[in-house]
Every structure is written in C-alpha cells, then in structure tokens.
C-alpha cells in the first residue's frame, strides 16, 4: 500500500541544446523530461543511461546523460544554438 505521506518533489529545469530539460527528484526516484516528453532512464555502476541512447557509456549525472543524448540528435556539422539573451520586458 502506498504511503499516505504527501510528496514534495524537487524540480530543476535547464536549457540544453535549445531543448527544455526537466529533472524531477522525489526521494530515491528520478525522472527526466525533455520538451514535455518523459524518457526512460536506467542507472548502473557507471551512472545514468537513457533507454533511447542505450549503447553509449554511462554519464555521471542525469543532466550529463541528457546533454549527450541531445548532442547526438543534432545533425552533423551543425553548431549548437547560441543561448538566447534575456530582454528586460520579457
């Protein structure tokens, strides 16, 4: 039976390669969301591995695993997008 204790997840958001990356941590569980889509993540002795990117070495952090995955999605020869500059009124 699930505990009746209210959960209070920790959520961090990052802009990686022009994509919105959200990491949700709740106790021992972690979730990775990229552009609103949840990706399956596995952990092993080397770190984190995304199921969509299973044949690459594990990354030490979940954010690093997301970065490696998104770098592979970028077409060869295309540079990473430059960070957007914040405007005062937006």
CA 38 to chain centre: 9
Distance CA 50, CA 33 (A): 11
The CB density around residue 30, as the number of other CB atoms within 10 Å, is 15
**Does the structural domain 10-73 have CATH classification 3.30.1880.10?**
yes
Domain ranges of the chain: 10-73
Q: Where are the beta strands (DSSP E) in 27-75?
A: 29-34, 37-39, 41-44, 47-50
| pTM over the 0.75 mark | no
Torsion of CA 43, 44, 49, 51, to 10 degrees: -80
At residue 56, the 3 state secondary structure works out as coil
Q: What is the pLDDT of residues 24-67, one digit of tens each?
A: 999 889 999 999 999 999 999 999 999 998 888 999 999 999 99
């Amino acid at each position: 039976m699930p505990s009746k204790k209210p959960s209070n997840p920790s959520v961090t958001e990052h802009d990686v390669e022009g994509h919105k990356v959200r990491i949700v941590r709740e106790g021992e569980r972690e979730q990775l969301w990229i552009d609103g889509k949840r990706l399956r993540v596995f952990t092993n002795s080397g770190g984190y591995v995304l199921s969509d990117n299973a044949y690459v070495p594990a990354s030490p952090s979940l954010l690093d695993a997301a970065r490696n995955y998104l770098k592979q999605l970028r077409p060869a020869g295309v540079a990473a997008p430059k960070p957007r500059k914040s405007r005062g009124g937006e």
